[in-house]
Amino acid sequence: MTKSYFVTGTDTEVGKTVASMAIMQAVSKAGYSVVGYKPVAAGSEETEQGPMNSDAIRLRECSTVDVRYQDVNPCLLEAACSPHIAAEIENSSVDFALLSDGLRNIQTKADVTLVEGAGGWRVPVSYDSTLADWVGEEKLPVILVVGIKLGCLNHAYLTAEAIRRDGLEVVGWVANRINPGTEHYSDIVKTLEHHLKVPKLGEIPYMPSIKSRDLSGYIDIAPLGL
């Protein structure tokens, strides 16, 4: 069995990496091998092994197979901004062929590949294209992460609509409580369940040091056929 999913969010900083980690942990506990893939990352930090992106590091750590950093993140841009701006600063470009070659490579290493996007669905990778264009070429099923906050209903509706108009399937969604003070949390989630009309894979509560925790218990991967 080999399955791949693309994880997108309603915006930047809504918890795509947290949700991806939770799903990967749940997949692992179900007995499948899993690997994370961050095709494009904008924002790097210096490590003993060279520049790396913190989200890609997390995905690599949650992978159940041994992969190199470059396998997980083939396109690393230094500036922490929109990929098309970061690429322009470096006088480089985001090469879809490179992303696809990397995807083919990493898909051979595990039962499940979880591909995490950058920013929201329409994040630009050049002045003429978005990362969604590449996802469309690869025909990847999409998991939508909704950061529960004021305004997220509109963001979720528009994102799901855009994904479907691009000819792709939203196979599930995750509610991530990024703001513990958000009022009417349960009503917001209930509204999303009604409107999105796809399986809710789970709700991740707000908690400190969340990226260092086992989050598998908050995720149900059964709707993904796993």
Q: How many domains does the chain have?
A: 1
Would you say 117 is a known binding-site residue? yes
Which CATH number belongs to the domain containing residue 195 in this structure?
3.40.50.300
Is 191 annotated as ligand-binding?
no
> Which pLDDT score is estimated for 138?
98
Determine the average pLDDT of the residues in 85-93.
97
Residue 4 CA to residue 79 CA, distance in Å, equals: 28
Contact 147, 172 (CB under 8 A): no
Domain that holds residue 32: 3-224
Q: What is the dihedral of CA 199, 205, 211, 215, to 10 degrees?
A: -60
Residue 176 annotated as binding site: yes
Quote the pLDDT of residue 209. 87
Please check if 60 is assigned to a binding site: no
Edge-to-edge strand list for the sheet holding 34-37: 34-37, 112-120, 3-9, 142-147, 170-176, 200-204
Give the DSSP H or E segment for 79.
Answer: none
Q: What is the pLDDT of residues 18-31, one digit of tens each?
A: 999 999 999 999 99
Q: Residue 200, annotated ligand binder? A: no
Residue with tokens 């470096």: 90
Catalytic residue among 3, 29, 38, 211: 38
* Three-state DSSP class for residue 210: helix
15 is in an annotated binding site: yes
pLDDT at residue 210, as a whole number:
87
**Confidence class of residue 13 from pLDDT cuts 50, 70 and 90?**
very high
User: Per-residue pLDDT for 1 more than 80?
Assistant: no
Question: Is-catalytic flag, 38?
Answer: yes
Angstrom distance (rounded) from CA 88 to CA 137:
23
Whole-model pTM?
Answer: 0.97
- Three-state SS at 77: strand
* pLDDT band per the 50, 70, 90 thresholds, residue 212: confident
According to the annotation, is 13 in a ligand binding site? yes
Residues 63-72: tens digit of each pLDDT: 999 999 999 9
* Cβ-based neighbours of 14, under 8 Å, separated by 6 or more: 145, 146, 147, 152, 176, 178
90-117 average pLDDT score: 98
Judge residue 13's burial from the number of C-beta atoms within 10 Å of its C-beta, 0-12 exposed, 13-18 middle, 19 or more buried: exposed
